[in-house]
Amino acid sequence: MKRTPLVVANWKMHGQKAWIESFIQSFIGEFCGSRQEQQCEVVLCPPHVFLAQVQALVQSSVVKLGAQNLHSENKGPFTGEVSAPMLQEFGCTHVVVGHSERRTLFGETDSDVAAKFNAACQAGLVPILCVGENAQERQAEVTEVVVQRQLDAVLKQHGIAAFAKAVIAYEPVWAIGTGNTATPAQAQDVHRFIRKYLAGFSRDIAEKVKILYGGSVKADNAIMLAGESDIDGALVGGASMNVKDFLAICAGFSGRQI
Ligand code: PEP
């Protein structure tokens, strides 16, 4: 089964127009035309207000555009929110749903996340579904229970077919922004569990779905993570804001085709 590696930059609430322009020009200058361009798919997820700018900067390259969040409805009286058709109109191909910061800081429930996942699919966007346990849950050895519950919320509402055009990101909350990257073995255990669990519903979809790892991925740990058979790429926060580091992460995952 061939799963082309995918590396996603989550810039969170960071960035300014000038920085974005210079980042993308340098990144495209190095990445496009290199060997990695054929071997690794890259998605940049800026804050919503910069989508148009990034759309224009990446449009003649292979680099794709994603959003960090969306509302589950297509339109309506939801002040401050952005819908899937709006993201689509700005050239987004992907959207992150259920990031742990949305779940913990903005109170998104599993069922909210499932509704957003569905809205993304309906608009033809690829949802990047974030799942993962917090430190207490890992200590209590309920990682698989938590991850299964988060997957079930989508499976029960939308079925396994919804995963045919989705990406999953395993992001242990204790590893996000902390510098405490999961070891490749720890990450692989959970990735394997996710794939095996989905295989119980459809072996074909489970084999095809990309499962990214996120949580303090850096230039120096990407290659080890990429060496694990069920880790198909990375969702990168902090290190995605440094061109050199982000290029090194993409290089780490390039060439890993299963
Ligand atoms: C993230 O924001 O999804 C993330 C993984 O952040 P960091 O790489 O900074 O841990």
Q: What is the pLDDT of residues 3-62, one digit of tens each?
A: 999 999 999 999 999 999 999 999 999 999 887 888 999 999 999 999 999 999 999 999
pLDDT of residue 37: 84
Q: Is 217 a pocket residue for ligand 1 (Cβ < 6 Å)?
A: yes
Gap from CA of 77 to ligand 1 centroid (Å): 31
Looking at per-residue confidence, does 203 or 1 come out higher?
A: 203
pLDDT of residue 35: 79
pLDDT band at 2 (very low <50, low <70, confident <90, very high): confident
Q: Are 65 and 91 in contact (CB under 8 A)?
A: yes
Q: Which long-range contacts (CB under 8 A, 24 or more apart) does 57-64 make?
A: 57/20, 57/21, 57/24, 57/25, 57/28, 58/24, 58/28, 59/91, 61/28, 61/32, 62/32, 62/37, 63/24, 63/27, 63/28, 63/31, 63/32, 64/93, 64/94
Gap from CA of 246 to ligand 1 centroid (Å): 12
Q: Is 37 a pocket residue for ligand 1 (Cβ < 6 Å)?
A: no
What's the mean per-residue pLDDT of the chain?
96
The pair phi, psi for residue 69, each rounded to 5°, is -170, 165
Q: What is the pLDDT of residues 210-257, one digit of tens each?
A: 999 999 999 999 999 999 999 999 999 999 999 999 999 999 999 664
Q: Is the pLDDT of residue 1 over 80?
A: no
Q: Which atom of ligand 1 is nearest to the CA of 175?
A: 10
Protein residue whose Cα sits closest to atom 3 of ligand 1: 237
Protein residue whose Cα sits closest to atom 2 of ligand 1: 237
Name the pTM for this structure. Answer: 0.97
Active site residue 99: yes
Q: What is the pLDDT of residues 179-199, one digit of tens each?
A: 999 999 999 999 999 999 999
Q: Is the pLDDT of residue 146 over 50?
A: yes
Q: Which atom of ligand 1 is nearest to the CA of 218?
A: 8
CA distance 89 to 7: 23
Q: Is 177 a pocket residue for ligand 1 (Cβ < 6 Å)?
A: yes
Q: Is 235 a pocket residue for ligand 1 (Cβ < 6 Å)?
A: yes
CA distance 201 to 195: 10
Q: What is the pLDDT of residues 109-144, one digit of tens each?
A: 999 999 999 999 999 999 999 999 999 999 999 999
Gap from CA of 170 to ligand 1 centroid (Å): 11
User: If you search the block for the tokens 């229970």, which residue do you land on?
Assistant: 145
Protein residue whose Cα sits closest to atom 8 of ligand 1: 237
% of the chain exceeding 70 in pLDDT = 98
The string of DSSP codes covering 35-89 is THHHH-EEEEE--GGGHHHHHHHHTTSS-EEEES---SSSSSS-TT---HHHHHH
Active site residue 171: yes
Protein residue whose Cα sits closest to atom 6 of ligand 1: 237
Choosing from 71, 94, 99, 191, the catalytic residue is 99
pLDDT of residue 33: 86
Gap from CA of 177 to ligand 1 centroid (Å): 5
Q: Is 215 a pocket residue for ligand 1 (Cβ < 6 Å)?
A: yes
Gap from CA of 166 to ligand 1 centroid (Å): 19
pLDDT of residue 258: 42
Give the residues across from 10 on adjacent strands: 45
